[in-house]
Structure 1
Amino acid sequence: MQRLIPVTSSADILTDYQNTPIGALLEYHNLGSEFDCYSQAQILIGMCMDNRKYLRIPDNFAYIIRTGGGNLRYSEFKVSYAIAVGGVRSIALIAHNHCGMVNLMARRDVFIQGLIDNAGWEPEWAEQHFMHFAPMFEIGNEIDFVLSEVHRLRARYPKIQIAPLLYRIEDNLLYLIRE
């Protein structure tokens, strides 16, 4: 089964997301829709901190939380703030392909050496740091991770619409993920 749903026209947006902030995100980013003006955020976007991704969205449209792998487990208070105080009712959780948090353990030696060379850390500190945090931030497969995180967040925030998306580095477009 094809897991990614390309969005090349408004008709490609799943019915549940049409005329919602999630649909607007897809129209702004993928379809080049003209920007509307916003005085407050309409959506919370959770996405990876990776520098290869850029979203085409209007000012004031979204709260954005960028974390390794788009992992919001350790940003839940910020999610709650965007909902409780910011009033958002939609979340787009965006994974991307070629994510550095996938198979993080394979980057162990590079990570440790980088902290030694670039930050001046002692080897033992660098290794302890990696071994303590890597298991928390390893995400496995990008699509499987974002789907599991969407399910977790839906259980936590049942009145909030949450969509799983994938950003493809090769074409800089957002894809809906078939659940």
Structure 2
Amino acid sequence: MCNLIKVSDESEVFYKYKNTPVEKLLKYHNFGYTVEKPSKAEILVGMCMDNRNQLRIPNNFAYILRTGGGNMRSIEFKISYAIAMGGVKCVALIGHNNCGMTNLVSKKKKFIEGMVNNAGWSEKQAEEHFMSFAPIFEIENEIEFLVSETKRLREKYPKILIAPLFYSVEDHFLYLLENDKDMF
């Protein structure tokens, strides 16, 4: 398991993130720093679509991709687009605790009922949909998934700085992963 480091002081930012958009992200979100409006995006943020996760950053600072569990596998072209066309050289992957994409099997019945009642689907349609997609989007453990997704994207985009961060839904702070200090 990976220990989390709450970034409550600038001195806690890892050296590899100093003077990068990752450090700026931590300063904006955790410390409430404000600056003049950035002229263009400096970072791409990939994070969960969970409505409890709200970043405190200035407009124009980041491209933000939100998907269940922060799973970037199905939207890699959008990451590539931000790199190629937007010129970003840095990606922050943000996982969080109590993610709804963990233990999807336990949510199957409620999912089916929700699709029947809210979307007008038949039970059969809803079950087939769940069974087709739940295995693709399931994350077993938020931190382990964040670490593996970071590793995968670092291999795919070797010239891009990719930082795994963790959002606590209790205190709304961004944390660093201790093993990322020396990871890769």
TM-score, with structure 2 as normaliser? 0.95
Shift in Å, 1:37: 2.3
Q: Determine helix, strand or coil for the equivalent of 1:25.
A: helix
The residue that corresponds to 2:56 in the other structure is 56
Q: Which amino acid aligns with 1:42?
A: E
Give the CA deviation at 1:65.
0.2
Contact residue 48 and residue 68 of structure 2 kept, 8 A: yes
CA–CA distance in 1 between the matches of 2:37 and 2:60? Answer: 8
Task: List gaps (5 residues or longer) in structure 1.
Answer: none
Please tell me whether the aligned partners of residues 35 and 57 of structure 1 are also in contact (alpha carbons under 8 angstroms).
Answer: no
The residue that corresponds to 2:130 in the other structure is 130
Instruction: Give structure 1 regions of 4+ aligned residues with deviation exceeding 6 angstroms.
Output: none
SS in 2 for 1:140: coil
Structure 1 SS opposite 2:74: coil
Identity among equivalent pairs (%): 58
Q: What residue number does 1:32 align with?
A: 32
- 1:83 Cα deviation from its structure 2 partner: 0.3
TM-score (norm 1): 0.98
Aligned to 1:154: 154
Structure-2 residue corresponding to 1:3: 3
Distance 1:132 1:119 in 2: 17
Instruction: Give the letter for the 1:68 counterpart.
Output: G
The letter of the residue matching 1:150 is: T
Contact 2:2/2:143, CA 8 A, preserved across alignment = no
Q: Indicate if the aligned counterparts of 2:7 and 2:13 stay in contact, CA closer than 8 A.
A: yes
Deviation at 1:177, TM superposition (A): 1.1
Map Cα deviations across residues 44-98 of structure 1 (whole Å, 9 max, x no partner). 0000000011000011000000000000000000000000000000000000000
CA-atom RMSD, angstroms?
0.9
Deviates more, 1:47-56 or 1:33-42: 33-42
Aligned residues: 179
Cα displacement (A) at 1:2: 5.8
